[in-house]
Chain A
């Protein structure tokens, strides 16, 4: 039991043991004596007014006994009626608790139904989660593989670029070499033309044809 609940119960018992219990017995006795005194006083007054003389004390005693019995029987009938009403309330209480039990039973059943549905949904969700986890793992693997492929491709691309640059460099050197040769040929031709102009015989066409065929060969190399 929670400590606060226990504390309340203990305090109530202590309260009654200091306030109610020491006095209830005394007060009850006092009340009963007062009641008895009232009855006897009433009877005494009745008897005095009737001024009965025959059999004196015996009659008075009998009368007292009768009135006290009447009073007791009245009290007993009151107790019986109280007990009957208590019984009635207990029956009503029993019915109430039975209705509460059936209410809680219904509630428990509906909660159990709800719990089953939730369990089924949970299982389904777990299954979906597992499937998605597997898919994710496969995708992650694929991702790693593609990444590696990409790294490889980048490396290859770099190498190819390097090769292409070198090729271009070589090509530029070849073009430069060819251009130099061309330049030399042109200069040589100019010189030869000058020499030729100075002479009377001009075999210039033949010489030019030879120079041109020599340039084409350099390009193919």
Chain B
């Protein structure tokens, strides 16, 4: 029976959340289309993963080899192209993660299959693949169709679909041979840990986040003062770190910290999905932005469409007044 193939992503001995999200979405598609759900894990000594994955798929394909101990896009693409050629999955799902974007384009060319990246939704459409993606920083959606082909490859945005629950009946585990003739030119040499920061904002109960809307490094105190008045921490979006205005340990988002404070105030942050992934678990979210179409408003409890240079000082002042009188 034709199948949907999900690439299991793992790092440092643990399967990553996106794997379960892809399996849940894959299951939804197989259930509606008379297909089977297979997942493939590439690693070294990864039998533990196979057991865990078997609760989520009809079949777990395992390629176990020392060369696969860490993710390597070249090794992954060379192994997967053979698996895809042999099994001809109707659809191959990969996370739109750092590893996914490193791997998927090369795999698509090697396999001769059309690719759609960063999908927030997808469904089989005859011999094609219907996908929804976001463009212009999340301000517009695009619906498109990948041209008809024997199979398709899609990378799926993390944290878009709910992870699936384990099923009662575990799927079969199948070991696949590591291709003998692989000659790899790219070599993984190690991890680089993030530098330790002065504080771990992941522990903070209140975070005031600052984004591009702050315009200039010299304006950061406007946000810092509010954070201090609230006895909270200062956080920020990626561009603020890229510009060197705040250290990396203040960055909220998928490539920085994931935070779940009681209160997150986002000021001048439009809300890339990477930022949203890092803060959407906050209990209360307040968004201040001049742009009423900023995607982050869609995740806010309270929104203020206005100038942060007026709203934040007014809020700082009111909080100081309140605390002074209390």
A, B assembled together: no
Chain B interface residues toward A at CB < 8 A: none
